[in-house]
Chains A and B, each alone.
Chain A
């Protein structure tokens, strides 16, 4: 079956970096784009952008340019989200999700809580 399994929770200090992984299984990894979505505590869903798993080309939403980097390791069917220069306001749950034609996400990772605190 299709699964997206994300790495575990992270506690980081302001200014540090974090790298969240999203390992896909049960389907051909290069066949489906991966979305990244942020959910701040008690808030709604916010689309961060996507990465083309065939070409490796990322596309970032306007609010997520600069400190956010999407990457891939196709040899292990894994997508990554790296956030540099962490700030307290980056504290959130980050989700990866598989994208289908029509821009809907049919499978989601379980989410990774990133907490930024001194």
Chain B
């Protein structure tokens, strides 16, 4: 089991806003930066957000990250069909001395 918990699924219609939560603890999100990855069907993961809220070059500003205490959140505004993917949060865990991924959230565009 992962130490970072995400809802298994989320959905929305085109144009809507979707938010995905990532719940951790003081040894991971509470202390270290959170990163988010997008995995399209059949593809390798892609970095979406680094260091809590930084978007790499080429990532649309529809994607935004935030963090508070031991939780983090990824928001997708103006949902598009190409956003259908599985989204993972991740962070270094000081207690486990390991990089941990969240359980993953499958986003469906209705």
Closest to B101 in A: A45
Find residues 86-100 in chain A having any chain B CB closer than 8 Å to their own CB: 95, 97, 100
Across the interface, do B99 and A47 meet the contact criterion of CB distance under 8 Å?
A: yes
Across the interface, do A35 and B50 meet the contact criterion of CB distance under 8 Å?
A: no
Q: Does B19 contact A (CB under 8 A)?
A: no
Across the interface, do B50 and A104 meet the contact criterion of CB distance under 8 Å?
A: yes
Across the interface, do A45 and B88 meet the contact criterion of CB distance under 8 Å?
A: yes
Given known contacts A103-B91, A103-B92, A104-B35, A47 and B47 CB-to-CB distance under 8 angstroms: no
Across the interface, do A47 and B98 meet the contact criterion of CB distance under 8 Å?
A: yes
Interface residues as binary, A26-47 with B (CB distance below 8 Å gives 1, 0 otherwise)? 0000000001010000001111
Which B residues touch A62, using CB under 8 A?
96, 98
Given known contacts A62-B98, A106-B56, A44 and B104 CB-to-CB distance under 8 angstroms: yes
Interface residues as binary, B23-66 with A (CB distance below 8 Å gives 1, 0 otherwise)? 00000000011010101000011110011000010000000000
B2, B44, B47, B100 — most chain A CB neighbours (10 Å): B44
Chain B interface extent, by class: 20 to 34
**What is the CA–CA distance of A50 and B100 in the complex, to the nearest angstrom?**
13
Across the interface, do A95 and B44 meet the contact criterion of CB distance under 8 Å?
A: yes
Cβ 8 A contact of B44, one of A50, A100, A111: A111
Cβ of A40 to closest chain B Cβ, rounded Å: 12
Q: Does B73 contact A (CB under 8 A)?
A: no
Which B residues touch A108, using CB under 8 A?
44-46
**What is the CA–CA distance of A105 and B38 in the complex, to the nearest angstrom?**
12
